[in-house]
Structure formats: structure tokens, C-alpha cells
Amino acid sequence: VFAGDATVTPRQEQPGAEDAAFISIQAFPALLDLPQDVEVSEVSCGSRHTAIVTRGGELYTWGWGKYGQLGHGDNASSDQPRRVERLAAEGLRAQEVVCGPWTTYVCVLE
């Protein structure tokens, strides 16, 4: 569901016709705005994207999404964490997440 492997030249991505938004790639920590009631239980970072699992079993992802690694059903990138709605729609709860260079692997419970 959340996968995509490809070889990409390491460089900052510039917005193109297929990218709706420019994503800043930062090599330092940044504060995030998460909903008030979200308690993070796990976090994983890929080369250009990040994912968190909440204590309630929700998955949030953000960053570079060119290969669909954010799991939102598109290739859009996002500077803000977005909840992966597909898990809730299928009655699944995220337990663990591991981000690879251009992939995201999620262990879920039904």
C-alpha cells in the first residue's frame, strides 16, 4: 500500500508540473503543528519524508511524496503532517512504521 522504490539523484527537488507545492528539505529539526489530542508513540524518518504513529493507531506522514511513499493515494508532497485516511477507512490501526529512502512500511492491526 505504501511503497515505491526508485533511484533519484540526491538534490533538492524543485517544483514541476506534477508537484503542486514546493517542499523545503531541511537538515535540522523543525517544530510541527499536530492536533492537540495527538500523542506520538513512534516516529521514523526516510531520506526526504517522515512518519509518525499515534497511541490511537493513526498514521501521519509528510515530506517529499513523489513516489507515493506518504500513503495519501497521490504523489503530492506536504510540509505539514497529514493523517493517512486509508487506514481508518479499512478499519486498520497502525502499530509500527519504518521509512526507507523512498518507501514507507507500516505494521497494522485489524
pLDDT in tens, 94-108: 999 999 998 999 999
Domain boundaries, the chain: 40-109
**Cα Rg for the chain, rounded, in angstroms?**
13
**pLDDT reported for residue 30:** 75
CA contacts within 13 A on the Cβ side of 3: 4
Q: What pTM value is reported for the model? A: 0.76
Average pLDDT over residues 52-74: 95
Which grid cell sits at 16? Answer: 514541476
The yes-or-no verdict on residue 66 having pLDDT over 50 is: yes
User: Edge-to-edge, what's the strand order for the sheet holding 59-63?
Assistant: 40-45, 49-54, 59-63, 78-83
